[in-house]
Structure 1
Amino acid sequence: MTASLPAFAGRTYVFRVDNGAAFRNTYSADGARLRWEGLGESAGQWEDVRLHVAEIAPGIYFVSWTEQSGITVSHVMDLNALTVRAFWTFEGEGGRVGQLHTGTLERVA
């Protein structure tokens, strides 16, 4: 039995986060990789990461990855409502810091 491709495979979205950050997220044709690029204040930052993906309901995906810096990102993408609930962790003063955010998606390609 073969798994179907995630609905975001081969597509590009602008992800606008509630903290003002924005990213251009381009997903590989097989849905297994993401190239994120910072926009606005984060312009010039980018990375190509391997994804862990699970469809949790039709059009709703749990997606996670680890960046070279050690930042971990987990988010639930709702492609029906074009929303994201994101949780990321990073090293901060006194240890690991976690942040929960919401955001919107705009399909651009």
Structure 2
Amino acid sequence: MTAALPGFAGRTYLFEVDNGAAFRNAYSADGRRLRWEGLGESAGQWEDVSLHVAEVAPLVYFVSWTEKSGITVSHVMDLNALTVKVFWTWEGEGGRVGELHTGTLTPA
């Protein structure tokens, strides 16, 4: 038995975060990879990352990855409401720092 593809597989979204950050997130056809591209202040930044994915409710996904810089990102993507809860962490002065944000998804 094969697992169903996640609902975001093969799709691209504009992801706008409550702190003003914006990204173009393009997911691979199998839903196992993401190419994110920074927009606005983050323009020119991008990375292709491997994803860890679990469906936690119909069309609601926990998605996590680690970037080359050491930043970790975890999303709870609700494709029903086109919203995201995101938690990212990075190495800061005195140890690991984390931030929790909300955002919206717009199909691109």
Q: Do these two structures clear the TM 0.5 threshold for a shared fold by scoring above it?
A: yes
Counterparts of 1:75 and 1:10, CA distance in 2? 17
User: What residue ranges of structure 1 are gaps of 5+ in the alignment?
Assistant: none
TM-score by length of 2: 0.99
Q: How does 1:24-103 map to 2 (within 5 A)?
A: 24-103=24-103
Q: One-letter code of the match for 1:28?
A: S
User: What residue ranges of structure 2 are gaps of 5+ in the alignment?
Assistant: none
TM-score by length of 1: 0.98
Work out the percentage of aligned pairs sharing the same amino acid. 83
Q: One-letter code of the match for 1:31?
A: G
CA RMSD of aligned residues (A): 0.4
**Could you tell me which residue of structure 2 aligns to residue 16 of structure 1?**
16
| C-alpha displacement of 1:44 | 0.2
The ranges of structure 1 where at least 4 consecutive aligned residues each deviate by more than 2 angstroms after the TM superposition are none
- The Cα offsets for residues 65-108 of structure 1, whole Å up to 9 and x where unpaired, read as 00000000001000000000000000111110010000000001
Q: One-letter code of the match for 1:87?
A: F
Q: How many residues align?
A: 108
